[in-house]
Amino acid sequence: MLEAQGLSFSIAGFSLLRDIDLRVEPGKVTAIIGPNGAGKTSLLRLLTGEQRPTAGNIALSGQPLGDWSPTQLASVMAVLPQSSRLDFPFTAREVVMMGRIPHATGLVRDTAIVDAALAAVDGSYLDKRFYTHMSGGEKQRVQLARVLAQIWEPVADHARVLILDEPTSSFDLAHQQLTIANMRSFAAQGVGVLVVIHDLNMAARCADQLLVLSCGRIAACGSPQQVLTAMTIKQVFNVDVSIGINPLTGTPLVIA
């Protein structure tokens, strides 16, 4: 389990995050929503160990994040940043194979995992194609397959964590659904999934727990039913909405 307590973060005296408590529980999908500039990406940078919080603690499986060696951490925590630039003509297979760098499972096992990860994002046909020649959505799928491959199987029963920053921003409807299915299936294996997402209805569909960030603070936290109310959305996004029920999934449906 990834657990943060009392996180605060400021840069040059400017406070970006204040008093954040957060638990990414194994087997659950936690989604962070909030307006632009609310501190969502900053929060991810703290939780992945890329930046140190000004105050507060982060622990993974009970051990402070700073005590994990880089390779150890990489073998159980995979992070997909918002956008990745890669100007070199690697094939999709080579990019996904990089996800196996933290592991020493051998080429045969790694190849099987890369095949499965590419298939999971509907990218098997991209296998030998060059990354530099792909569309935006295809690139994003290959990057997603790379992070899935990174934590494809458990390492010595350690809890695994998957962190995704807006993974569906350039996906069509079918691939959005596929990504939700992937997050759910990783959660079903006991992986703790944390995702930053802009589309409130997507968040309602994929998450067990929603966390609303506003101006660097937690404005609301709980199940989608508890959090996605007309009042909260008015407070945080300053938009009038009405809330219905998605007839297919039974989750809240935000109608703006």
Partner 1 sequence: MHRLPPRAFMVVALVLLVLAVLLGLLVGPVQIAPVKLLTLWSADQDMDGRVLELIRLPRVLLAALVGACLASCGAVMQGLFRNPLADPSLIGVSSGASVGASCVIFFGGFGFLGSGLGLPAIAIGAFLGGMAATAVVYRLATSVTGTSVSTMLLAGIAITALAGAVTSLFSFFADNEMLRRISLWQMGNLDSASWHRVMVIAAVVIPLVLVLPREGRALNAMLLGESEARHLGIGVEQLKRRLIVLTALGVGVAVAVSGVVAFVGLIVPHLVRLLIGPDHRYLIPGSALLGAVLLLLADTGARTLMSPAELPTGVITALLGAPFFVALLLRQRRDLVS
Of 89 and 222, which CB lies nearer to partner 1 in the complex structure?
A: 89
Of 82 and 223, which CB lies nearer to partner 1 in the complex structure?
A: 82
Label the pairing between strands 209-214 and 217-222: antiparallel
What is the smallest separation between the CB atom of 186 and partner 1, expressed in angstroms?
Answer: 16
User: Can you tell me which residue has the tokens 């929603």?
Assistant: 210
Residue ranges that bind partner 1, judged by CB under 8 A: 48, 50, 70-75, 77-79, 81, 84-91, 94-95, 98-99, 101-102, 130, 132, 150
What is the smallest separation between the CB atom of 143 and partner 1, expressed in angstroms?
Answer: 8
Backbone angles phi, psi at 191, to 5 degrees: -80, 140
- Sheet with strand 77-80: strands edge to edge: 77-80, 161-165, 192-196, 29-33, 209-214, 217-222
What is the smallest separation between the CB atom of 169 and partner 1, expressed in angstroms?
Answer: 16
Task: Calculate the alpha carbon distances from 55 to 4, 21, 27 in Å.
Answer: 11, 12, 28
What is the smallest separation between the CB atom of 69 and partner 1, expressed in angstroms?
Answer: 8
What is the smallest separation between the CB atom of 84 and partner 1, expressed in angstroms?
Answer: 5
Of 103 and 175, which CB lies nearer to partner 1 in the complex structure?
A: 103
Residue 225 burial (CB count, 10 A): 14
Of 58 and 233, which CB lies nearer to partner 1 in the complex structure?
A: 58
Q: DSSP letters of 25-63?
A: -TT-EEEEE--TTSSHHHHHHHHTTSS--SEEEEEETTE
Of 71 and 235, which CB lies nearer to partner 1 in the complex structure?
A: 71
